[in-house]
Chain A
Amino acid sequence: DVVLTQTPPTLSATIGQSVSISCRSSQSLLHSNGNTYLNWLLQRPGQPPQLLIYLVSRLESGVPNRFSGSGSGTDFTLKISGVEAEDLGVYYCVQSTHAPPTFGGGTKLELK
């Protein structure tokens, strides 16, 4: 199975600060069809996960544009440009290029 390694495991930020989360894959996530199926989820406390970004960099409808995704192959990054209080929670990367789908271990974003 593909292993996704997220760093850091915990991130402390102040409101308005920009932060980045890394997700590294044990193998390339480039599918033979040319797509890279790497997505980002946010799980707020006590809530189910919600989709933020899909196909590396595409913003899900309704997600603020302070969120952005980038990367290719095995290295991916989620950036939040100006953290807001509602952004606190655990962020997961998830890949579906290779079966079975696998999740990163999560990055907890908390207030400093």
Chain B
Amino acid sequence: EVQLVESGGGLVQPGRSLKLSCVASGFTFSNYGMNWIRQAPGKGLEWVAYISSGSSYIYYAETVKGRFTISRDNAKNTLYLQMTSLRSEDTALYYCARRSNLYVMDAWGQGASVTVSS
């Protein structure tokens, strides 16, 4: 069974940093590109970042470019999102999602909650 489990969320002050992790199991993690997608409270879905299977290709949403860094450790089956200079508008539930070879986000984690507030 494919599983994605996020962790590392919490309450953080504006301007501070936080690092999310997503541990994958049930599939060959190193064969898949991965995404981070977020959902602000009561709002829709927003794509945040993508990393290819071998980390050769990395893309960010304009809203987080220069502040967030996506990375992965294929030996540990783990995806990361380093978030710096956090703002109140970054408050959201952050999901990791697998990207299939048909560009489909076909598996999602339960999400990690990030609240940015003083």
Q: Which of A's residues lie within 8 Å of B, judged by CB?
A: 35, 37, 39, 41, 48-51, 54-55, 60, 92, 94, 96-97, 99-106
Contacts and interface: CB of A to CB of B under 8 A. Distances in A.
Interface residues of B, number: 20
A98 to B, nearest CB: 11
Contacts of A92: 44-45
B71 to A, nearest CB: 18
A105 B102 contact: no
B44 A106 contact: yes
Give the top 6 A-B pairs by smallest Cβ distance, nearest first: A96-B103, A48-B108, A103-B45, A54-B104, A101-B47, A37-B103
Contacts, number: 55
A29 to B, nearest CB: 11
B117 interface: no
25 contacts: A35-B102, A37-B102, A37-B103, A41-B45, A41-B105, A48-B95, A48-B110, A49-B95, A49-B108, A50-B108, A51-B104, A51-B107, A54-B100, A54-B102, A54-B106, A55-B102, A55-B104, A92-B45, A94-B45, A94-B105, A96-B104, A97-B103, A102-B47, A103-B44, A103-B47
